[in-house]
């Protein structure tokens, strides 16, 4: 970076470099230092755990919906709502 100083006499431009004592830290160096193989294994384990939990919940919901459709419970509730007797 440069700092510009304008003088009143004849519009002479003087540029002076600004010294920076310590360069800014790079973002990729900070993230690279924090990563470790053990942390990655834990993350993968937690991801697999959540995916299996989501799969179990989805299968459970489809099983319950299938049971409600076979017993015509959804149709009875819809008929009551249409007739206004709910």
CA distances from 53 to 42, 48, 50, 62 (A): 17, 9, 5, 14
Looking at residue 7, its pLDDT comes to 47
Torsion angles phi and psi, residue 5, rounded to 5: -120, 120
Q: Quick: pLDDT tens for 46-66.
A: 999 999 999 999 999 999 999
State percent of the chain over pLDDT 70: 58
The HSE-up count of residue 44 (CA atoms within 13 Å, CB side) is: 6
The HSE-up count of residue 80 (CA atoms within 13 Å, CB side) is: 8
């Amino acid at each position: 970076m440069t700092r510009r100083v304008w003088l009143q006499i004849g519009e002479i431009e003087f540029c002076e470099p600004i010294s920076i004592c310590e360069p800014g830290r790079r973002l990729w160096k900070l993230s690279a230092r924090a990563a470790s193989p053990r942390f990655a294994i834990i993350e993968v384990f937690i991801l697999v755990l959540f995916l299996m939990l989501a799969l179990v919940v989805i299968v459970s919901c489809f099983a319950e919906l299938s049971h409600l459709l076979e017993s015509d419970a959804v149709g009875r509730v819809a008929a009551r709502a249409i007739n206004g007797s709910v």
